[in-house]
């Protein structure tokens, strides 16, 4: 009996949903290492509904349930399930728990001009001093204020505010719980007391009643509802990871060193450091850093950079479907092209044509416009890497520290060309991996709940020895000629 018991594994299911795809990944411990396996993948995208860019929540929920059912087919029943997604976006529910309106996505332009409206009530400096969140028009605060001004009937009927993973948790369990790390992306959480900024909500005229208690990663949501249990063939506990995907990804950064900067590289590039206290000073605001909540009340002190969204959008406009190696080669050929764009500019958030947006930005800044695919690719790659270099200098200026290493995690860590350009522009040691950092961080939170790890330090040590982390080869590309 004892020998049989040793073979039993605890499986943990991470459901990691991004702006373009979602994946179900099982994780378990084996011989002192964490193992993972993707068991289901699905597409995700924004739909235009009545002139608004919206997420199809019914389709997303069906995909979530379908993927959970794959565990039963494989006879690997997870001890717990955790869902993470992008931040900012939310749904409103009425008293019966039904959605009010659509789940409008962060790329929708309903927030246009809302910053000025909010600043009529509280100026930008005072707002930052309360929450320490980087000014971005996509932040939840501006979406909610847009509803207040343009669709007040929705807020009047609303009884609950749930962010995307919280709504999916509710559909699985019937339990509504707001989670801390994602809540901080709303710009409505006070950085000091780590709770909703009730005074700010009152100032903005947003209803207090819709915002629930904030729970932390590792907290239980509840068991799957009976109807879901019948569909998937088993029951399991739904647990809160860091439900903001960057919060989960940062948990999987494979180092415990203090002299490290991370880049969570994907659709967005989230670049920064971990801190134990927030920095809501005027100096930090001027540099436009954000203090997002992390695991165990750590702070993710970072900048949101447009990231590989620009490259993904450009690739769709090419008539030929290039492989990644072909893209790298084309970009390298275009290294003579010197124009640089500001990859944090809102013009790149949701343009009809990314190619035209890059060209127009160059034209507006009196620089040559990229004409060929080679020039366009190198312009975007080089602009991203140069922005990384600038952010490194800003982090060091604000903190007064010198950082030696940059850890690139997430799907973007596979981009060898961008990694090498990042090494060139930052003059730091670049380490790439793990690829599935967000899912690994999600699983890590679940494992911390069941005491597979004593703490995050131990967990990161295990992650370091469990997954490939490669130092970028300085000789792979040369950009100095």
Domain 8-239 matches domain 253-268+306-433+451-481 at the CATH topology level = yes
Evaluate the CA torsion angle 8, 10, 15, 21 in order and state its sign: negative
Structure confidence at residue 7 (pLDDT)? 46
Q: For residue range 65-83, list pLDDT tens digits in order.
A: 999 999 999 999 999 999 9
Average pLDDT value over all residues in the chain: 95
Answer yes or no: is pLDDT of 8 > 70: no
Q: For residue range 209-264, list pLDDT tens digits in order.
A: 999 999 999 999 999 999 999 999 999 999 999 999 999 999 999 999 988 999 99
Does CATH place domain 8-239 in 3.30.420.40? yes
Answer yes or no: is pLDDT of 197 > 90: yes
Both tokens of 390, joined, read 């600038």
Structure confidence at residue 9 (pLDDT)? 85
Give the long-range contacts of residues 66-70, CB within 8 A, separation 24 or more.
66/40, 66/42, 67/15, 67/22, 67/24, 67/39, 67/40, 67/42, 68/13, 68/15, 68/24, 68/228, 68/232, 68/236, 69/231, 69/232, 69/233, 70/24, 70/39, 70/40
Q: For residue range 253-297, list pLDDT tens digits in order.
A: 999 998 899 999 999 999 999 999 999 999 999 999 999 999 999
CATH of 253-268+306-433+451-481, one of 3.30.420.40, 3.20.20.80, 3.40.50.10540, 3.30.420.340: 3.30.420.40
The 3-state DSSP class for residue 370 equals: coil
Residue ranges per structural domain of the chain: 8-239, 253-268+306-433+451-481
Answer yes or no: is pLDDT of 477 > 90: no
> What is the pTM for the complete model shown?
0.95
Q: Taking residues 160-181, report their average pLDDT.
A: 98
Structure confidence at residue 258 (pLDDT)? 82
Q: For residue range 96-136, list pLDDT tens digits in order.
A: 999 999 999 999 999 999 999 999 999 999 999 999 999 99
Indicate which residue of 16, 89, 245, 415 is catalytic: 245
User: Is 245 annotated as catalytic?
Assistant: yes
């Amino acid at each position: 009996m004892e020998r049989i018991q040793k073979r039993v594994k605890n499986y943990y299911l991470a459901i990691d949903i991004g702006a373009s795809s979602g994946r179900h990944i099982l994780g378990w411990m084996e011989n002192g290492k964490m193992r993972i396996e993707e068991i289901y993948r699905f597409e995700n995208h924004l739909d235009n509904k009545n002139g608004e860019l919206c997420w199809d929540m019914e389709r997303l929920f069906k995909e979530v349930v379908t993927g959970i059912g794959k565990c039963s087919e494989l006879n690997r029943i997870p001890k717990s399930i955790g869902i993470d997604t992008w931040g900012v976006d939310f749904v409103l529910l009425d008293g019966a728990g039904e959605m009010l309106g659509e789940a409008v996505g962060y790329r929708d332009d309903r927030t246009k001009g809302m910053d000025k409206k909010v600043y009529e009530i509280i100026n930008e400096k005072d707002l930052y001093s309360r929450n320490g969140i980087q000014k971005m028009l996509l932040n939840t605060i501006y979406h909610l204020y847009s509803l207040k001004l343009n669709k007040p009937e929705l807020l009047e009927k609303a009884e609950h505010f749930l962010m995307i993973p919280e709504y999916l948790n509710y559909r699985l369990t019937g339990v509504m719980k707001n989670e801390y790390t994602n809540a901080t992306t709303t710009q409505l959480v006070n950085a000091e007391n780590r709770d909703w900024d009730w005074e700010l909500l009152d100032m903005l005229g947003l209803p207090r009643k819709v915002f629930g208690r904030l729970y932390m990663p590792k907290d239980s949501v509840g068991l799957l509802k009976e109807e879901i249990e019948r569909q998937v063939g088993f029951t399991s506990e739904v647990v809160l990871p860091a439900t903001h995907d960057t919060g989960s990804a940062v948990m999987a950064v494979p180092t415990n060193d203090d002299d490290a900067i991370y880049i969570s590289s994907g659709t967005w590039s989230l670049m920064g450091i971990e801190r134990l206290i927030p920095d809501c000073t005027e100096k930090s605001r001027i540099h436009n850093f954000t203090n997002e909540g992390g695991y165990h009340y750590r702070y993710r002190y970072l900048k949101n950079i447009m990231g590989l969204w620009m490259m993904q959008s450009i690739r769709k406009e090419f008539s030929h479907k290039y492989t990644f190696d072909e893209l790298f080669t084309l970009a390298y050929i275009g290294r003579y092209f010197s124009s640089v764009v500001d990859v944090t500019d809102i013009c790149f958030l949701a343009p009809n044509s990314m190619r035209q947006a890059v060209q127009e930005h160059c034209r507006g800044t009196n620089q040559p416009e990229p004409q060929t695919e080679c020039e366009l690719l190198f312009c975007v790659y080089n602009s991203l890497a140069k922005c990384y270099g600038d952010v490194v200098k800003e982090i060091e200026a604000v903190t007064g520290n010198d950082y030696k290493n940059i850890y690139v995690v997430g799907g973007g860590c596979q981009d060898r060309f961008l990694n090498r350009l990042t090494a060139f522009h930052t003059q730091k040691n670049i380490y790439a991996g793990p690829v599935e950092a967000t899912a690994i961080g999600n699983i890590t939170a679940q494992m911390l709940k069941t005491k597979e790890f004593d703490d995050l330090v131990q967990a990161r040590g295990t992650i370091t020895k469990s997954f490939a982390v490669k130092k970028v080869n300085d000789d792979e590309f040369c950009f100095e000629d």
